[in-house]
Structure formats: structure tokens, C-alpha cells
Amino acid sequence: MHLVYPAVLSALLFCTGLYGVLARRNAILVLMSVELMLNAVNLNLVAFDVWLSRAARDTLHSGQALTLFTITVAAAEIGIGLAIVLAVYRNRGTSDIDKLRDTAEGRGDAEPGAVAAQKTEATA
Amino acid sequence: MSLAPTLSLAAAPHGSLAAAPHGFLSPTGVEIAFLLVGLVTFGAALITVTTRQLVHAALWLVVALGGLAVEYLLLTAEFIAWVQVLIYVGSVVVLLLFGLMLTRAPIGRSPDADSDNRWVALAVATAAAVALVWVVTNAFRTTWIDLTGPAAGTTRVTGASLFRYWVLPFEALSVLLLAALVGAIVLSRKAKAKAKADADGDGDAGDEPAARTPAPVPAQKDGAR
Amino acid sequence: MTTTTLAVLVPLLPFLGAAAGLLLGRSAPGFVRPLAVLPPLAALVLAALVAVRQGGGPALDAHTELTPTGSVPVELALHIDGFAALVAILVAFVATCVQIYSTGYLRDDPRYPSYAALVSLFTSAMLLVVYSGDLIVLLVGWEVMGICSYFLVGHYWETPEARAASLKAFLVTKLGDVPFLIGLFALATDAGSFRITRVLGTVASGGLHHPTLVALLLLAGVAGKSAQFPLHTWLPDAMAGPTPVSALIHAATMVAAGVYFVARLLPVFEASGAAMLVLAVMAAVTMTGSGLAALAQDDIKRVLAYSTIGQLGYMTGALAVGDRGAAVFHLLSHGAFKALLFLAAGVIIHAAGTNSLAAMSRMRGLRERVPDAYWTMTVALLALAAIPPFSGFFSKESVLGAAEHAAHGDTAQVPGAAGWLVLVAGLLTAVLTAAYATRLWLLAFHGRGAEAPDHGRQPLTMTAVLWVLAVPSLAFGGLAYRALPGWFDGASLTPTLLTSILGTGLAVAGGLLTYGVWQRTTRSLVSPPLGAVAAHPEGDAGRVEAEAIASHTPAYGDIAYAPDPADPGRALLGPLHRHAAVGFHLDAVYTALFVRPVLAAASLVRFLDREVVDTYVGAAGALPRLLGAAVRRAQTGNVQTYVSALLAGTVVLAVAVVLVATGA
């Protein structure tokens, strides 16, 4: 099989996940997109492992082993990630990423008075 | 991005690796199957990241991940394929669905599923895709995978290499999972304490069950392994 | 101990006393009074020993160089001749008297420890000036005196008068000190040394390139310190300080320093006829002007202050006619009787509860309240008016005699015009001096009206000092005029017949005229009730005086003036009285000439700083702030935006790397 097929599919999936990470508003959807990216990498790993083991370049099946590890790590990541998202949701009442702007300039604390004071300071 | 290692591999002379006589425009049956399944997978992934119905996104993710499992099978990596089905389709997506429900994600179409950043995201993703595809096609234009002979990823082969050569990383990974387990418990316990304080404060006990759900997540993973 | 060691100890002891007083003032109040009195007393004894050993012989010179100081060396040098030895005795004597007097005068003052330490430091600085053989070391003492006078005049800093007076004293003397410093440098550059002996040697060999310039520069500093016209204005205002400080400044230190300095460097001034003429004009204007002003003052201490300026005018007059022996002779006798006058005035102010002569003239029996002050002040006033045989007579006659010599052209380096100027002004001043002395005596001790308030007995420390000082006021001149030429340059100090008769006659005439006018005014005019008396029988003299100074302006409308029609000075001066009371408007002239322009320049600078310079500074801050505000907009807090930018950059970099690697 032509190696380009899995490689290109992997690249496209990766970029699709990338788009999802950058564009999605809901944190859980972002996590899904991260999963897509991880899977794209896995596909790459498997394809290259098959190719290299056939060509007797690699006898350790490192690609497949790494894929397994990636899957495991991804599972752990999704667990922790969901816990964090739930904690955030409990605290903030939302899981929309673009509403979590605590690090924004001038919006450190959401009190309008403080914002106004900082704005006047900025304009002064 | 995994571009750099790919590139170094591509720079290696691969003429010797390529099995000799393959017609560039004569696809085999496996290739056709791979291509069709790949198209389905890519389409499902696209729908996953663009649909406005959040629950549907999770379901389309199942299709995409399942399609990938089929691709693994086509690449003769059967163990990986089953693990993919078990863990991703079986538990991760279920977890994600739980997460969606616990965060009271709206059922049905939500008009604001994508943020204002989407056009920037689209530009970045497209640029990355173009660059990756261009590099990959250029690098592996003349490389073929030999799929004849014994399968490269049977359970026996994979198990042998995993427990012969990869035992130490494997065990280290179990420690990582343990850490993830503990971390998830800590996070959810904190949340619980806070929820209790909130409940004491304004009598709102609606979030109570949500606090408990993250705890079993790593346990499920452990069992799956 | 060698004479040199003794001489070094003379300025050192009061300095150590001052340091110890400042250190122990709070922790050990019991030591303050011994520490205040004993070091000047020891310095007096040592100075007397030095004088006896020096004995009017050749000058004693000693020097050591602590460290090399560049092209013109600065050395710790002693130069003790007859002048230095005798002036040092006077300084230590007056300082001891003042310190003893102060223990009674400022008995209850909470700031007495620092006051006593500063007086000791003042004394030490003056002794340093007297003994120093190096101009820079002399300058150190000179400047230390300036800062000490600032602190001491401002002792009652609660009152605005004292604050203003201390600042004025400091700034006006500094105004003279700047040219003085330049003059010293010019002198040392020509001489190649700061040593007085070398400088004088250079002058003697004609090595001075610009004698007139140097002399005039030095003269500015002398005029500032010795309160000569036109820099005398600080001295009357300095009366806002405690009376013992006035006695110290006027009798022995500070103002004497200028005269003493000119006496030391007289050859430098004699090298320039123009400088001598300027000195003579300065002396003449100072003498007559201060005499007129003294006649119009209402504050008893301001009368004495103007009399000091006048007597200093006599001394500079003697220097202007080239006779430093006469000048230092008058310095010595004046030091004794002027200290006595001030200290007695302090007793009177305490007893009367006021410093206003107009108020005192409406009091009966002040004489009986303070008999010690009455008798000793009478002696001192007679000495001031130069009535024989009091000491002031001999010293003043020696000045007038020297002027007469110069007028006849007997003195080589001195222009005859200077001699005539000093002689005429001196005789005129003799009349004025006698007049204001008589006026002071009559108004203070021969008042009619209500009984003087009872402030209890004066402390023994205060009255005893008066009698001690009365002795030299009475007898010093007569005993010393024969012996002193041996200590000084050798010129005779014996009064000449003509000037003696002229001077004494004029003085007696002035006194009698004033008496006559006083008789007429007190008989014919009904004295309107006038005056405010600060009665604090339990308070110490310093407190009474501070209150008297503070209440003078509210009571009379001016610090120097009282609307008293029965004042003989008003009748004598006629239309001049109004102008003389305010020192002939010199302060107003200075305000117009210097103070207002300086204030205007300051406000201009303030405007430039606030409006112009700050604009640049503000712009320098505002521009980055604007840029920052623009950049800050990128910080939206949206993580996805950040990651987008990050990944876009990564893609660009990756593509660039690929292009470079493939050689495209």
C-alpha cells in the first residue's frame, strides 16, 4: 500500500482536530478535538511501524508500542481533563473556553468598578 | 507538531525501502478500501468539529474513531484496532458524553458552538494541512508498505515485543495512570468540598452528583488496560 | 607643656566641650552646666598662659601638614603674635562670662544643653580664627561661626522673628562669604601658599598681581561678618536671639572676626589705595548711619546692635587709616563694655518684662529693682560714649589720633582723603554715640509712671558677671594704652590732645543736648500710656525676653519702632526719625533689588520645571503607555486566540525550515 495514503489521512485528521481545538467553544468539544489529533498521530505511528517492520528496519515494533502508550496516556488525559472541566463548570457555571478570560488585560477581576478604575488609569 | 521527525525520515534515502514494482496509478483492493474508509473517517472528523449539536459531535467522533480502527485492521495491526475500539469508542466517548451531560450541554442545535476565533482557526488549520500534505506527499511519494506475508500487528507479535522490549516503559505508564487516578480524585474531592460549601450557602444541591462522576474515570481506564 | 601645645588646646577645649555637651545633653543633664562653663574657663586660663609666654615678642609659628592637598598646600598652622594672644584672651573671657550668665538666663530652657554646646562651638571657632596661621583653617572657623550664629539667633525658633532673623543672618553673611572665598583663592594663587606669613611675605615683596581686586573681594566677606555697610542689615534683626548670644556675637566673636582678619592681613589691603579708600568710605557710612539709626530704635537691644555697628565702623576706620594697633585696641575695650551692655540689657529686660524703651520710660523705680544692672550699665555707657577715664575713651582716641595722622599725610600707604573721612565721621559719630547712650540711660532708668513689675531677685550668676565685666570697662583703657604698643606694631596709642578735647567735648555736648531735650519732652508732653509688658515673675529671663520680642510687633506695629512722642530721639532727629527707625530703608531696597528678582526667578524656574520640563517627562511616560495600551489589546484572555497565534507561528517556522532544508 502506498504510504502516502495513511500519512495524508493522518495529516488531514490532525489539522481537523487542530481546527476543532482552535474554533470550538465548549471545553468538552475541545477535548474531543484533542482526541482526534492524538488519533491522527496514532495512525501515523501504526503505518510507519508496519512499513519499517516489513522492511526489517525495526524489529521492536516501537510504533505499535508507542501507540498503545499514547492511547493509555490519552485515556488518563481525558480523565483529568474532564475532572478539570467539571470543576471549572461548577465554579463558573460555564464550560465555554472563551468566557474564561481571567488573564485578560484589565479584566483580572470581573468587578465593573475595578475595570473602570483600571481603564481610567490606562487613559490617565 | 510531528513535522520535524517526519522530515528527517524523509530525508533518508528510501529507494531501497521501497518494494520495487508498484504502479503509481494501479491501486490494489486494500488501497481502495483504505481510501474509502479514510474518506468516511475524515468526513466524520469534519462533522465532529463543525456540527452545532454537541451530542452529535460525540457520536460523529465514534464514527471517526471506529473508522480509524478499521484503518488499523487494514494495516494489519489488529491488536491496536481492538484496543482502539475498546478504549476510545467504548469508554472515552462515553466519558465525553457524560461530561457533556454533566455540564448541561444543550441538546439540539446551539448556534454558538463555534467561537469568534473560527476564521483564524480555519486559516491556521488550512495552512497547516497544506504544509503537512505537501511535505508528506513529497517525502513518501515513492514509498510502499508491503502488506503481504504474516501480519505485522497480531496480538502475539505485539504482546511479545511489548513484554520483551517495552516492559519498563509499560510499568512506568502504570505509575502515570495511578497518578492520573489520584489527580482526578483530588480534583473531584476539592470540587465536592466546594460544592458542599455552596450547598450550605445557598441551598443549591443540584450539582451534587456531578462532583462524584470524575472519580471513576481512571478506574475504568485501569480496567480497560 | 610647650606654648604650641597650650595654644592648640585653647580652641580644642571648647570644641570638645561642645561635642560632649551635645552627646550628653539628654542622657546626663547634670553635666551640662559644668561642661558649658569649664571648657571656656580652661581656654581662658590657657590663652592667658600663652599670652604671658608669648609676651609681645616675635610671633610664634608652628605648622604641620596632615595630608598633601594639591598645588597649594593647606597646613594646620599656628600664628600667634601679640594681636592673636590678646584677642584670644578677650574671646575666652567674654565666652566664659556669657556661659556663666546663660546658666542663670536660660535656667529653665529645655533646649539649654544644645544652646550651651553651640556657644562653646562658636567660641572654639572664633579661637581657631584667632590662632590660625593658615587661611583655609581660618575659613573653617569663619564658616563654623556662620552656622552657629544661624542656630543661636534662631534659638527661639517658635517666633517668626527669630526664624527670619536666623535665615537673614546666615544668608547675608554667606553673600559676603562667596567673594571672600574667591579672594582667598586669588590671594593663595599669587602667594603659592595659604600660610599667612607667606602671604604677607609675598605682599611685602610686591608679588601680588591684583591687590585691589583681592582686597575688595576679601572686603565683601569682612563686611558681611563684621556687619559693615552695606551688609550690616542682619545684625539688628539678629537681636531676636537670646541676649547672651547677642553679647557673644557683638563683643567677642563673629563681628570681631572680620576686623581681626583685616588687621592680620592689613598689608594686603595697604597694597591698594583704592581698597583703603573703600574701607574708609564703608567705615564712615557705617558709623554715622548706625549712630542715627540707633537714636531712633525703640528696642533696647536694637539700640545696642546699631551701636555695635558704629563701634565696628570705628575699628574699620582705624584699619582704613592703616593703624591696626588702634583697631585691635578698640576691639578689646569694646568687647568688654559691649558684652557688659548686652548682659545688663538682658537683666533689664527681665526686670521690666519688656524690651521697649518707650514702655520702660513709663515705669518708675526700675533703677531700684536692678541696682547692679544700673551701675554697671552706667559705667558701660560712659565707656561707650568715650568719656574719660573709661576704657572706651582711650581706644576711641587712639582711632581718632590715627585718623588725624593719616589726614595730615603722615601715614605712607593711606590716602589723605581716607584720613579726613574717618576723622570727620568719627567726630560726628562721637556726638551721636553720646546722644543715644544718654537717651538709652534716661529712658531705661529714669522713667515716670507706674511702679515697675517685680520679677524677684536676679540670679547671682547674672549680676556677678556684670561686675566682673565692669572692671575692664572701667579701667582697661587707662591701664593698657601704654603697654599695648609693645604687643602690637609699636605705634603709640596715647591720646593726642586735640582729638581728645574735640572728641570728649562733642560727646559731652551730645549727652547734654539729649538730656535737655529729654527734660523738655517729658515736662511739656503728657506721655500717653503705652506698651505691653510680659509679666512672668516665675519664668526665667530667656522666656521673658522671647515673649517681649514676640509681643513688640503686635503692640507697636513694628519691631524697631514705637509711636512715642516723648522720645527725645524723635525730637533730635526730626523728620529723619521715621527713616532712621527702619535703618534708612535698606531692607526695602534689598527687597526690591534682590529678594523680589530672586523670587520672580524662582517662580520662573518653577514654571519652566512644571510646565516645560515636565511636559517632556510626561510625554516620555505617555508614549510607552500608549504603545502599551495598544499592545495590551492583544491580551484578550482567550486561550484559543493565543494558541492560534502560537500555531500560526509554528506553521510559518516549519515551512521556513522545510524550504531551507530542501534548498528551495
Residue of C nearest to B127 (CA): C651
What is the pLDDT of chain A when averaged over all its residues?
Answer: 81
CATH number of domain containing A15 = 1.10.287.3510
> Positive or negative CA dihedral for C139, C145, C151, C153?
negative
- CB contacts of A107 in chain C (<8 Å) are 637
First to last CA, chain B: 27
Q: How confident is the model at residue A120 (pLDDT cuts 50, 70, 90)?
A: very low
Tell me if A101 and C632 make a contact (CB, 8 A cut-off).
no
Tell me if A22 and C632 make a contact (CB, 8 A cut-off).
no
- CA B134 vs. chain centroid, Å, equals 23
What is the pLDDT of chain B when averaged over all its residues?
Answer: 76
Kind and range of the H or E run holding C64? strand C60-64
Q: Which three cell numbers stand for residue B182?
A: 489520584
pLDDT > 90: percent of chain B = 25
Look up the domain containing A23 and give its range.
Answer: 4-123
- CB contacts of B115 in chain C (<8 Å) are 638, 640
**pLDDT exceeds cutoff 50 at A109:** no
Say if residue C389 is preceded by a cis peptide, omega within 30 of 0.
yes
Helix/strand/coil percent split, chain C, to 5: 75, 5, 25
- CB contacts of B3 in chain C (<8 Å) are 654, 658
Q: Is C45 exposed, middle or buried (0-12, 13-18, 19+ CB in 10 A)?
A: middle
Name which of C629, C637, C640 is nearest A122 (Cβ-Cβ): C629
Tell me if B48 and A44 make a contact (CB, 8 A cut-off).
no
Tell me if A46 and B165 make a contact (CB, 8 A cut-off).
no
Phi and psi for C229 in degrees, rounded to 5? -55, 135
> Positive or negative CA dihedral for C311, C316, C319, C325?
positive
Residues of C contacting chain B (CB within 8 angstroms): 638, 640-641, 644, 647-648, 650-651, 654-655, 657-658, 661
Whether residue A34 contacts residue B60, with contact meaning beta carbons closer than 8 Å, is answered with no
Q: In sequence order, which ranges of C297-415 are alpha helices (DSSP H)?
A: 300-320, 324-352, 357-360, 366-369, 371-384, 391-407
Least confident of A16-20, C247-251, C601-605, C652-656: C247-251
> B109 pairs with which residues across the strands?
B53
Tell me if C655 and B4 make a contact (CB, 8 A cut-off).
no
pLDDT > 90: percent of chain A = 36
Which has more confidence, B109 or B79?
A: B79
Which has more confidence, B114 or C329?
A: C329
List chains touching B (3+ CB pairs under 8 A): A, C
**pLDDT exceeds cutoff 70 at B220:** no
Whether residue C110 contacts residue C100, with contact meaning beta carbons closer than 8 Å, is answered with no
**pLDDT exceeds cutoff 70 at B25:** no
Q: What is the mean pLDDT of residues B58-62?
A: 91
What is the pLDDT of chain C when averaged over all its residues?
Answer: 84
pLDDT > 90: percent of chain C = 8
Calculate the dihedral angle through the C-alpha atoms of C644, C649, C651, C655, rounding to the nearest 10 degrees. Answer: 160
pLDDT confidence of residue C525: 57
Exposure string over A67-88, b if 16+ CB within 10 A, otherwise e: bbbbbbebbbbbbbbbbbbbbb
Contacts of C235 (CB under 8 A, 6+ apart): C169, C227, C250, C255, C305, C308, C309
Q: How far is CA A42 from CA A47, B81, B148, in A?
A: 9, 11, 22
- CB contacts of B225 in chain A (<8 Å) are 72
Q: How confident is the model at residue C585 (pLDDT cuts 50, 70, 90)?
A: confident
Mutate to test the interface with A, among C627, C631, C635, C641 (most CBs of A within 10 A): C635
Name which of B45, B147, B176 is nearest A76 (Cβ-Cβ): B176
Which has more confidence, C227 or B64?
A: B64
> Positive or negative CA dihedral for C15, C20, C23, C29?
negative
Angle at CA C520, nearest 5°, toward C519 and C524? 125
Q: What is the mean pLDDT of residues C590-603?
A: 89
**Tens digits of per-residue pLDDT, A76-85?**
999 899 988 8
- CB contacts of A21 in chain C (<8 Å) are 640, 643
**Tens digits of per-residue pLDDT, C437-456?**
888 888 888 877 777 777 66
Count of residues in chain B = 225
**Tens digits of per-residue pLDDT, C242-289?**
888 888 888 878 888 888 998 888 888 888 888 888 888 988 999 888
Q: What is the mean pLDDT of residues B158-169?
A: 88
Tell me if C638 and B4 make a contact (CB, 8 A cut-off).
no
Q: Is A121 on the interface with C (CB under 8 A)?
A: no
Tell me if A22 and C647 make a contact (CB, 8 A cut-off).
yes
- CB contacts of C644 in chain B (<8 Å) are 117, 120-121, 124
Tell me if B3 and C658 make a contact (CB, 8 A cut-off).
yes
Whether residue A18 contacts residue B128, with contact meaning beta carbons closer than 8 Å, is answered with yes
Kind and range of the H or E run holding C60? strand C60-64
Q: Is B115 on the interface with C (CB under 8 A)?
A: yes
**Tens digits of per-residue pLDDT, C34-78?**
888 888 899 999 988 888 888 777 778 888 887 777 777 888 888
Q: Is A108 on the interface with C (CB under 8 A)?
A: no
Q: What is the mean pLDDT of residues C232-241?
A: 83
Cα C208 from Cα A46, distance rounded (Å) = 106
Mutate to test the interface with C, among B3, B130, B137 (most CBs of C within 10 A): B3
Q: How confident is the model at residue B172 (pLDDT cuts 50, 70, 90)?
A: very high
**Tens digits of per-residue pLDDT, C295-331?**
888 888 888 888 989 899 989 888 888 888 888 888 8
pLDDT > 70: percent of chain C = 93
Whether residue C256 contacts residue C335, with contact meaning beta carbons closer than 8 Å, is answered with yes
Q: How confident is the model at residue B13 (pLDDT cuts 50, 70, 90)?
A: very low
**Coil, strand or helix at C364:** strand
Q: Which parts of chain B are beta strand (E)?
A: none
Name which of B1, B124, B135 is nearest C644 (Cβ-Cβ): B124
Name which of C625, C635, C644 is nearest A105 (Cβ-Cβ): C635
**Tens digits of per-residue pLDDT, A19-34?**
999 998 888 999 999 9
Mutate to test the interface with C, among B8, B112, B119, B120 (most CBs of C within 10 A): B120
Q: How far is CA C663 from CA B128, B193, C652, C656, C659, in A?
A: 20, 60, 16, 10, 6
Q: For chain A, what is the domain count?
A: 1
Mutate to test the interface with C, among A15, A19, A22 (most CBs of C within 10 A): A22
Tell me if A104 and C644 make a contact (CB, 8 A cut-off).
no
Cα C332 from Cα C315, distance rounded (Å) = 10
Tell me if A105 and C637 make a contact (CB, 8 A cut-off).
yes
pLDDT confidence of residue C577: 78
Helices then strands, counting H and E runs in chain A, come out as 4, 0
- CB contacts of A105 in chain C (<8 Å) are 632-633, 635-637
Residue of A nearest to B214 (CA): A83
Whether residue C324 contacts residue C318, with contact meaning beta carbons closer than 8 Å, is answered with yes
SS (HEC) of B147-213 = CCCCCCCCHHHHHHHHHHHCHHHHHHHHHHHHHHHHHHHHHHHHHHHHHHHHHHHHCCCCCHHHHHC
**pLDDT exceeds cutoff 70 at C571:** yes
Neighbour count for residue C416 (Cβ, 10 Å): 14
**Tens digits of per-residue pLDDT, C499-516?**
888 888 888 888 888 888
pLDDT confidence of residue B41: 94
Q: How confident is the model at residue C563 (pLDDT cuts 50, 70, 90)?
A: low
Which has more confidence, B109 or C381?
A: C381
pLDDT confidence of residue A40: 94
Distance from CA of B60 to the nearest CA of A (A): 10
Contacts of C583 (CB under 8 A, 6+ apart): C233, C236, C293, C560
Angle at CA B28, nearest 5°, toward B22 and B32? 130
Contacts of B109 (CB under 8 A, 6+ apart): B52, B53
Q: Which three cell numbers stand for residue C650?
A: 509554528
Which amino acid does the sequence have at B102?
L
- CB contacts of A122 in chain C (<8 Å) are 625, 629, 632
| pTM, to two decimals | 0.66
Phi and psi based region of residue C449 (left: phi greater than 0; alpha: psi -120 to 50; beta: remaining): left
Q: How confident is the model at residue B19 (pLDDT cuts 50, 70, 90)?
A: very low
Whether residue C77 contacts residue C62, with contact meaning beta carbons closer than 8 Å, is answered with yes
Least confident of B137-151, C327-341, C523-537: C523-537
Q: What is the mean pLDDT of residues C171-197?
A: 87
Q: How confident is the model at residue C485 (pLDDT cuts 50, 70, 90)?
A: confident
Provide ipTM, 2 decimals: 0.80
Phi and psi for C60 in degrees, rounded to 5? -95, 125
